[in-house]
Structure 1
């Protein structure tokens, strides 16, 4: 990859072409901050609307730290690191519902949105457009075709026909976004992904005797923040489109009123007998989810053994080397888990074409989502599991709302895996297959207190 290109959102963006450092970008941020700085979280006037089937919650825009992506570089990061614009995009999305006309008009003018078409577009289409404006400058005055955007984490039944077609056509293996070659536009990347799918290259990465579950179209990848409530705020499941680089966990904890909790994990957890579960001490990046299905009566232990030495894991290690600017010294050890029944996942599994899993007694996940969110897409549901149960090991401390209901059921069922320290690695066991989680951590040693980073 050329030295003047930096990877962001799974794409390569030239700093000279980027919207990040422009006057217009800063102007947009200043406008949002000025307008919503003193918004009362409990003021019903600012409670977000509920477009179609996605549930929104009251949200305080000012709690986002806009310097996540604008102009700051935390110590230990390369000065050339381009950070995700996701917070601003979320604000723009929210303003679509709650801002007054003048504010909305000014923001759309900054982004170059065609005024006549602006009011005709649905919220998720506008969000996609805002995303494309931020991540793929310069853009023509014409609105980017929605069907050229990868869509995940959004209810297919709630989409118009264009978005439905996009969902069906581009439900591709997004982990290709983390590999060479890099592209300048989303369009080029999607074309590349589609060609890779047809070439069958990804299949060759699997260990012998295994295959991707065909019902999920090779594989699903998604990115995460701390809790699924975050996804409620993104009508497109924007986490899929952006490679989130979280720099202020305390800000999110404040927004969602999540406490700092200290809890002791059972002794057989290993070397790390105590775990501080707190959003004030941690920052996340992304989570990748792969669905595997054993072939030829391959047992789970055999598949586990094959997986640890497979080309796929070697491939992930290589991706880690390319995607990180710093080598961490912290060892990553992740145990495996057997998940308990959770009937609320069944509708989501069925919607993703995985009804056969729903029929298996042992495959339902433990305490996934609130009952009101039965229809979460499968990727969204598994995000919650990864946060609530899975990726908790060593120095990686997690944000959990109800730890007392989770920790007693925390029982490793396999020996721990090791992977490059830039990644977390966990496999969930089902009687029909395995689910492999790959979580990427920015800085596992970072500490936050009251929103301030301790350097």
Structure 2
């Protein structure tokens, strides 16, 4: 298990090492003692990665996240529901899938992930991004990546070496064939523990079965305080203009402070909009809030792409802001298999999927992706943000200057949000709020 956090970036001491020469995974299965973890010996230091490849992978994750947002919001109810997802969490899980893919399977995954890098380069760059945020006293950030394999499943030596080099992780063994529900519970418990209890039951009974051969998970947990917290006594009920025209009173925070801010209208971004960045203490992380004009949310959200997002974030400059922001707390659960197919990933789900880079020469069967899921949650209040996400992949046999006057930004209508690393630009969480009262 890989556990990167502000206080413990590695967990190598918890792993039982296997040499690269070992052709098969061995373990006790789900009905015995704790599963064995098989891995290649990790290097003493993380594998060196070209900085340009890290930058490109960060931008690619942003573009991938926007694709996910647009596709999920394109469902019949998508325009009116709250939505939170973790682009970085899913990209990390898929990087481990891409690392073992070959041919058209790899090409489709790479295209959807917006990367021109080789699978090896992409997974190493992803690992470097996961390690980027340094330990601090004011931030809890944990990311855990786990691979759970059928007992006796043969892995390619090079695949184990890539996992060690990129993530300093190995592969848990379990027995999906004999005890699929026990295996599922172990996986779900690991994700729940890694997210401080925020993400429960990532996989359901239909997603982990006796036919499961490999399950990959990424668990992400964030607890961060605002640099400029809102005073509780300034919170009051204020109207919020929903997309359906109703205006319920919602619990709304307020402060008058200096933030990075920008606004615009017309041009490639269409209708008027405002954006503000709220930094978290001691972290280099921030939440960006993008607020289209009343009545313009659906069109603005649909048109928002990587170039437009870069334009918004690149225009941020310090201004005095009279800011109101509704408190919100909600969860999102998505079966992402149809979403990824809509983004062009088809071969990975087909019997002809090519994951020969993952399998060793003793592999008795081919693999395909059976399910991709993500659950995410976010809570924003006066003190800061708590957010978590669990992402899972199941593989089965297949065949500016500040003026003295404050700018007014009263967020009383649907808006988009982005929690990102302001140095690399990588998005940890992305979503939309259309009704702060809905969980």
Same fold, judged at TM 0.5 (above): no
Which protein is richer in strand relative to its size?
2
TM-score (norm 1): 0.28
Comparing both chains, which one has the higher relative contact order based on Cα–Cα distances under 8 Å and sequence gaps of 6 or more?
2
Give the TM-score normalised by the residue count of structure 2: 0.29
Structure having the higher Rg: 2
The answer to which structure has the higher helix fraction is: 1
